[in-house]
Chains A and B, each alone.
Chain A
Amino acid sequence: MVTQVTATNASATEPETWFLARQDLATLIARLRDGGRQVIGPTVRDGAIMLDEIDSVDALPVGWSIDNAPGRARLVETGNQRTFDQPPGPTSWKQWTYPPRVTQLAWEGEERQPRLEASPSAPKAFVGVRACEIAALGVQDRVLLAGPVADPDYVARRRDNLVVAVECAVAGGTCFCTSMGTGPELRDGFDLALSELHDGFVVRVGTPAGQRAIAGLPLLPTTADQVSQAQASVARVRATMGEPLPMEGVPERLIAAAESPRWAEIAERCLSCTNCTLVCPTCFCSSVTQRSDLDGEAATAERKWDSCFTLDFARVAGGNFRTRTEDRYRQWLTHKFGTWWPQFGSSGCVGCGRCIAWCPVGIDVREEVMAVSATAPAVPAAPAVPAVPAVPGVPTPVTKAVVEPRGVATPNELPWAQAMVVDSWRETADVVTLRLNTDDARLLAGQPGQFVMAGLPAVSAPPISVSRFHGDGLELTIRAAGPATAQITSLERGATLALRGPLGRGWPVEMAEGRDVMIITGGIGLAPLRPLIDALLAKRDRIARIHLAYGARTPADRLFTAELDRLAQSGVMDIAQTVDRAGPEWLGRVGVVTQVIDRVMCSCDRTIAFICGPERMMQATVDVLHERGVPDERIFVTLERHMDCGVGLCGHCQLGRFFVCKDGPVFSLAELGPGFEIEGL
């Protein structure tokens, strides 16, 4: 259980303020480095202001500023002695809290057990953190710490980060923190806050750690004049940014504007180069890459920055859910400004303006957000569908998700468990069922519809639905659709397989009580439904009729044929099988599985439907069920998406506001709403 990460209290009384003379900044920096703390701050490098480790005050960008505009960020010499008059550069603090490449796992030992790599948790000081960036740290904290599973590397790196914030005295040409409610004033979330005046800094203490950092420094109490200079400075910044954008109602309108013609227009300009996502301080999408030597020994898994703009981001075996640039841009903008709210209780954007300056072709999100929202159809006043259920323990949404930088406790890790193959058999030409034993209590407590990530050294770990639970293990029914699944399906008796799970939200078995159940599925889709059938049959007397319609390509492609025949004969449920085509020896049904239910003339007011198969098949099935009068709240589908982590941290599996891995993979049609039918969502 994640210990609650609390927002810093604004002090009941005004914090004490001190004045630090300009020449004494050096002492503060030196003091921060005491005890081996790594100090990171802005510095001039390669024609830009970059965040780097600094060893003294001399590394700070005194007399430098940046001229920002869409697609342009030129370094300018101001000729003055001021230290912090720059808007954010292309790097953000996530370079240190969520680095571009991190080794996550190593596979070692005779048994090839996956071991989590330890992450450095050396204390750091961030100097020059702006209000928007404090908000960004808070936003990433909510994503990476406050979910059901926290990222252990992020937890380690966020431990003991001393935040020395700086209140902006200049506004960059692309800044819009006032529109996002994140600045420019520094309110909380810092250990120390500096407001730069002509001859020094007004220092505000935010936490006891900040207090300790300035102990013994040559500080004077501030004068009223100094305080009012600081306030006037930041007020000027606010004024420079002009009228904030009208953001009221924008999230809902963006979500509703999925079919706006503007997306295609943006796609004519957008290069899908990923720059915006990689400079963004809140973007967190990542991918897991495998590293190994030629023998597959010394195998590691590495987490690296990825982006929803890459082609492979939404790829699955045999398909890709988001190939067009317009779909990718829509995903990014709608997520950042829209679906981030139901997911994490805040906006994903903090108004730092990096993406506008560092877009190579100067696409301006301020313009695009307003343009797209303007084309949105009328949005119902009250939400038509329930929001994603809140994560227990996470505080109620705040507009400016500021989170205490430290005090983060042990994350709720979901480690890899070991399972051993005790049997395996072929179901069809390319589908194999593995019977695995394990003593991991979590895996054994899995529910119908849940899945596991299955890992072997040096290959990617795919998500696989559990096709049956046993008291001492489970079964996985797997189609060899790529190299990883090909290796897993060739495991022999005695082999070990690392499993992570059980993951996801399963079938709502209890909702079937007292109802007629229709299960419609095709191909390998029967596998995630089999535990549901097991669970229903275990309380058969509490369920009314159970009807299974199962389609496959040809008779040889059906799963579990002997079991199905036994069940049909026993009379506990009706089973209608059909194939797409057959030879003359097949005397059963031939035709699409939707036709099986199409001809059924039932009174469907007490029917609940569970569907699994290719999405196009599920859509056709839903159409027929609608005609039969089955309401959306009683139609459940299970979805497949690209997953690298399975726990809502890598970002790949998003569908609108949902993470298919943790909010699903089972969804009711009522929840999914129109998102189910929109191309490339």
Chain B
Amino acid sequence: MPEIGAAGDGPRLDENLAAAWLTHQLEPRTRIALAELGRLVSLAAGEVLMREGEAADQLSIVLEGRIGLRMRVPERGQVTILTVEPGDIVGWSAVVPPFRSTSTAVALADTELAVFEGEALRAALAADARLAAEIYPILLNAAARRLEGTRLQLLDLFSQRWVEPW
């Protein structure tokens, strides 16, 4: 069971966000506002953060440890298609309709996360245009970089095909 952080996580969370790749370039004001919305969560290795296909109600930033994203391929079982390292985001489906998780996220090591409740985050972004104007771009940037990485994975550059049968 993930430990739920105590109230008053704000200042400590803010420090973490200042050091995380995803959020370190935010305006201090924005970062603090974001920190207010989140809480610190610890996961033990092996614990599941969210499951493929289920409602996505949390957006998280990995602070320490590692989250593995897995998809089920019937003939192959669970395949890890990406790991999320400290500073990177997991669960942006929480702010993108239909708010459903596209993969299963499991902690591969003892992991600490900054977790934001999806509904609360969406409401805060809808209410505060300035906050939205700073948060959505960093989410988009993270998504873009992940897409670039996925494309390189798709090219399968390390594949070892023989062209000839000899």
A interface, CB within 8 angstroms of B: 318, 430, 479, 481-483, 522-523, 551-553, 557, 578, 580-584, 586-592, 594-595, 598-599, 601, 613-614, 616-617, 620
A-B contact count (CB 8 A): 92
Task: Give Cα distance in the complex from A77 to B17, angstroms.
Answer: 90
Of the candidates B83, B152, B164, the one whose C-beta lies within 8 Å of that of A590 is: B83
Task: Give Cα distance in the complex from A588 to B153, angstroms.
Answer: 16
Task: For residue B83, give the distance in angstroms from its CB to the closest CB of chain A.
Answer: 4
State whether the Cβ of B100 lies closer than 8 Å to any Cβ in chain A.
no
- Can you list 18 contacts pairing A with B, beta carbon distance less than 8 Å? A318-B162, A479-B160, A522-B158, A551-B158, A553-B156, A553-B160, A578-B83, A582-B79, A584-B70, A587-B66, A587-B108, A589-B66, A590-B83, A591-B153, A594-B152, A601-B21, A613-B158, A614-B157
C-beta contact mask, B69-90 vs A, less than 8 Å → 1, else 0? 1100000111111110111100
Of the candidates B76, B79, B145, B156, the one whose C-beta lies within 8 Å of that of A598 is: B145
Q: Are A591 and B83 in touch, CB under 8 angstroms?
A: yes
Given A587-B109, A588-B83, A590-B68, 14 additional A-B pairs, CB 8 A: A481-B160, A481-B162, A522-B158, A581-B80, A584-B70, A584-B77, A587-B45, A589-B85, A590-B80, A590-B81, A591-B153, A613-B158, A614-B158, A616-B152
Q: Which residues of B contact A598 (CB under 8 A)?
A: 145, 149
Q: Are A594 and B83 in touch, CB under 8 angstroms?
A: no
State whether A523 and B158 are in contact (beta carbons under 8 Å apart), knowing that A587-B108, A587-B109, A590-B81 are contacts in the complex.
Answer: yes
Task: For residue B56, give the distance in angstroms from its CB to the closest CB of chain A.
Answer: 20
State whether the Cβ of B51 lies closer than 8 Å to any Cβ in chain A.
no
C-beta contact mask, B123-159 vs A, less than 8 Å → 1, else 0? 0000000000000000000000100110011011111
Q: Which residues of A contact B80 (CB under 8 A)?
A: 581-584, 586, 590
Shortest Cβ distance from B87 into A: residue: A599
Task: For residue A132, give the distance in angstroms from its CB to the closest CB of chain B.
Answer: 42
Q: Are A553 and B159 in touch, CB under 8 angstroms?
A: yes
The 9 residue pairs across chains A and B that have the minimum distance between CB atoms: A553-B158, A614-B157, A523-B158, A587-B108, A592-B152, A592-B149, A590-B83, A582-B80, A590-B80
Task: For residue B124, give the distance in angstroms from its CB to the closest CB of chain A.
Answer: 26
Of the candidates A430, A582, A601, A620, the one whose C-beta lies within 8 Å of that of B160 is: A430
Q: Name which of B24, B79, B153, B164 has the most chain A CB atoms within 10 A of its CB.
A: B153
Q: Which residues of B contact A589 (CB under 8 A)?
A: 66, 83, 85
Task: Give Cα distance in the complex from A406 to B93, angstroms.
Answer: 77
Q: Are B157 and A522 in touch, CB under 8 angstroms?
A: yes
Shortest Cβ distance from B157 into A: residue: A614
Q: Which residues of B contact A552 (CB under 8 A)?
A: 158
Task: Give Cα distance in the complex from A589 to B145, angstroms.
Answer: 16
Q: Are A581 and B153 in touch, CB under 8 angstroms?
A: yes
Task: For residue B114, give the distance in angstroms from its CB to the closest CB of chain A.
Answer: 16
Shortest Cβ distance from A576 into B: residue: B85
Q: Are A482 and B166 in touch, CB under 8 angstroms?
A: yes
Q: Which residues of B contact A613 (CB under 8 A)?
A: 157-158
Q: Which residues of A contact B148 (CB under 8 A)?
A: 620
Q: Are B152 and A583 in touch, CB under 8 angstroms?
A: no
Task: Give Cα distance in the complex from A139 to B164, angstroms.
Answer: 39
Q: Are A482 and B164 in touch, CB under 8 angstroms?
A: yes
Task: Give Cα distance in the complex from A282 to B93, angstroms.
Answer: 64
Q: Which residues of B contact A522 (CB under 8 A)?
A: 157-158
Shortest Cβ distance from A429 into B: residue: B160
Q: Name which of B70, B77, B158 has the most chain A CB atoms within 10 A of its CB.
A: B158
Task: Give Cα distance in the complex from A582 to B80, angstroms.
Answer: 5
C-beta contact mask, B31-59 vs A, less than 8 Å → 1, else 0? 00000000000000100000000000000
Task: Give Cα distance in the complex from A613 to B161, angstroms.
Answer: 16
Of the candidates A479, A551, A599, the one whose C-beta lies within 8 Å of that of B88 is: A599
Q: Which residues of A contact B161 (CB under 8 A)?
A: 318
Q: Are A318 and B163 in touch, CB under 8 angstroms?
A: yes
Task: For residue B44, give the distance in angstroms from its CB to the closest CB of chain A.
Answer: 13
Q: Which residues of A contact B155 (CB under 8 A)?
A: 616
Q: Are A617 and B157 in touch, CB under 8 angstroms?
A: yes
Task: Give Cα distance in the complex from A594 to B83, angstroms.
Answer: 13
State whether A587 and B164 are in contact (beta carbons under 8 Å apart), knowing that A595-B149, A616-B157 are contacts in the complex.
Answer: no
C-beta contact mask, B96-114 vs A, less than 8 Å → 1, else 0? 0000000000001100000
Task: Give Cα distance in the complex from A620 to B80, angstroms.
Answer: 22
Task: For residue B154, give the distance in angstroms from its CB to the closest CB of chain A.
Answer: 9
Task: For residue B48, give the distance in angstroms from its CB to the closest CB of chain A.
Answer: 12
State whether A581 and B162 are in contact (beta carbons under 8 Å apart), knowing that A589-B66, A599-B87, A620-B152 are contacts in the complex.
Answer: no
Task: Give Cα distance in the complex from A483 to B149, angstroms.
Answer: 33
State whether A591 and B162 are in contact (beta carbons under 8 Å apart), knowing that A522-B157, A553-B156, A598-B145 are contacts in the complex.
Answer: no
Q: Are A594 and B79 in touch, CB under 8 angstroms?
A: no
Task: Give Cα distance in the complex from A37 to B149, angstroms.
Answer: 68
Q: Which residues of B contact A523 (CB under 8 A)?
A: 157-158
Q: Which residues of B contact A553 (CB under 8 A)?
A: 156, 158-160
Shortest Cβ distance from B25 into A: residue: A601
Task: For residue A85, give the distance in angstroms from its CB to the closest CB of chain B.
Answer: 52
Q: Are A584 and B78 in touch, CB under 8 angstroms?
A: yes
Q: Name which of A552, A581, A588 has the most chain B CB atoms within 10 A of its CB.
A: A581
Task: For residue B82, give the distance in angstroms from its CB to the closest CB of chain A.
Answer: 5
Q: Are A590 and B82 in touch, CB under 8 angstroms?
A: yes
Q: Which residues of B contact A483 (CB under 8 A)?
A: 166
Q: Which residues of A contact B149 (CB under 8 A)?
A: 591-592, 594-595, 598
Task: Give Cα distance in the complex from A595 to B88, angstroms.
Answer: 11
Q: Which residues of B contact A582 (CB under 8 A)?
A: 79-80
Q: Which residues of A contact B156 (CB under 8 A)?
A: 553, 580
Q: Are B157 and A583 in touch, CB under 8 angstroms?
A: no
Task: Give Cα distance in the complex from A583 to B81, angstroms.
Answer: 9
Task: Give Cα distance in the complex from A588 to B109, angstroms.
Answer: 9
Shortest Cβ distance from B45 into A: residue: A587
Task: Give Cα distance in the complex from A611 to B109, angstroms.
Answer: 29
Task: Give Cα distance in the complex from A580 to B159, angstroms.
Answer: 10
Q: Which residues of B contact A481 (CB under 8 A)?
A: 160, 162
State whether A583 and B153 are in contact (beta carbons under 8 Å apart), knowing that A590-B83, A598-B145 are contacts in the complex.
Answer: no
Shortest Cβ distance from A621 into B: residue: B152
Task: For residue A514, give the distance in angstroms from its CB to the closest CB of chain B.
Answer: 27
Task: Give Cα distance in the complex from A581 to B163, angstroms.
Answer: 23
Q: Which residues of B contact A581 (CB under 8 A)?
A: 79-81, 153
Q: Are A580 and B145 in touch, CB under 8 angstroms?
A: no
Task: Give Cα distance in the complex from A601 to B160, angstroms.
Answer: 33
Task: Give Cα distance in the complex from A430 to B158, angstroms.
Answer: 12
Q: Which residues of B contact A614 (CB under 8 A)?
A: 157-158
Q: Which residues of B contact A590 (CB under 8 A)?
A: 68-69, 80-83
Task: Give Cα distance in the complex from A541 to B20, angstroms.
Answer: 31
Task: Give Cα distance in the complex from A601 to B86, angstroms.
Answer: 12
Q: Which residues of B contact A594 (CB under 8 A)?
A: 149, 152
